Amino acid sequence: MSGTIEELAAKRKRWVEANRENGFEAGLKRLLTELYPDSAHFIYELLQNAEDAHAQEVRFILYEDHIEFEHNGERLFSIKDVDAITSIGFSTKRDDVTNIGKFGVGFKAVLAYTETPEIESGEFHFRIRDMVVPEPNGLARSYSEDKKTRFILPFDNSKKSPQQARSEIEELLRYLGATTLLFLTHIRKIEYLLPDSTIGYIERVERRENRFEIRVQHPNELAPSSTWFLLFDKLVQVEDEEA
């Protein structure tokens, strides 16, 4: 993918207009938001994106009317990533069979809560409209030297009130457990801030070879709980059956 975000937006708008003319828009949106059994699956999609970017720390900040997610991944957005996250079925990771994420479809899980997800990373700051159109107009960069990637998801889905959205997401965040970090290689800490200003976190601490501890601090608990794990690994050959 080459070109500018404006050129990409113009191409995507033509696609949206064609879908509306043929009456496909509502069906596509319903299909993409019903792919997963739990509506808050987007939490794991965001974590996987941060993992793929080699982030070590991530943070969710839950407000009454939106949620923000930020990570310190080494890899910031390129125009190819803008293309992938606003597409349907395209992925920047399709050539790596060891990579879990399929950004083009998985990220659409956010549509269960928001009509206008916003992304800020590298040189890009844009809002997505109509599922696939990146809209940079009027959005200024706030991280001038702070190289982070940030997602802002306003609770503006007409089928789900902000109160319901906040409640569902808060419940999921509160019950994130030690296994959330178990199979993530790069992320060492997940922190979340709730609307009542309480904080929770999950943190992985390497102790010695093949042994690590995962600490889970739930909001309003006095001390974190700890779970110990013994890790064994083995090199395997992975073949792409689609090749």
Q: Does some domain include residue 228?
A: no
Q: Does some domain include residue 77?
A: yes
Of the pLDDT bands very low, low, confident and very high (cuts 50, 70, 90), residue 152 is very high
DSSP 135-172: E-TT---S-SS---EEEEEE---TTS-HHHHHHHHHHH
Predicted local distance difference test score (pLDDT) of residue 100: 37
Q: How far apart are the C-alpha atoms of 57 and 188, rounded to whole Å? A: 6
Q: Does some domain include residue 200?
A: no
Token pair of 135 as six digits? 């809209």
Element (H, E) at 7: helix 5-22
Q: How far apart are the C-alpha atoms of 31 and 159, rounded to whole Å? A: 15
42-52 vs 162-174: helix crossing angle, rounded to 10: 60
What pTM was estimated for this model as a whole? Answer: 0.85
Domain count, the chain: 1
Q: Does some domain include residue 113?
A: yes
Cα 134 to Cα 5, 143, 166, 237, distances in angstroms: 7, 19, 25, 38
Q: Does some domain include residue 141?
A: yes
- The amino acid occupying position 187 is I
3-state secondary structure of 202: strand
CB count within 10 Å of CB 44 equals 17
- % the chain with pLDDT above 70: 84
| Window from 86-95, 113-122, 169-178, 180-189 with minimum mean pLDDT | 86-95
Check residues 5 and 240 and name the one with the higher pLDDT. Answer: 5
218 has a pLDDT exceeding 50: yes
- % the chain with pLDDT above 90: 57
97 has a pLDDT exceeding 70: no
144 has a pLDDT exceeding 60: no
Mean per-residue pLDDT for 223-240? 83
Q: Does some domain include residue 236?
A: no
- Name residues whose C-beta falls within 8 Å of residue 48's C-beta, 6 or more positions apart in sequence: 100, 101, 106
Of the pLDDT bands very low, low, confident and very high (cuts 50, 70, 90), residue 89 is low
13 exposure class (CB count in 10 Å sphere: 0-12, 13-18, 19+): middle
- The CATH number linked to 183 is 3.30.565.10
Q: Does some domain include residue 214?
A: no
- List the Cα angle 169/175/180 in 5-degree steps: 100
CB count within 10 Å of CB 177 equals 13
Q: Does some domain include residue 18?
A: yes
Mean per-residue pLDDT for 162-168? 95
Structural domain including 173 reads: 5-195
- The region, left, alpha or beta by phi > 0 then psi within -120 to 50, assigned to residue 185 is alpha
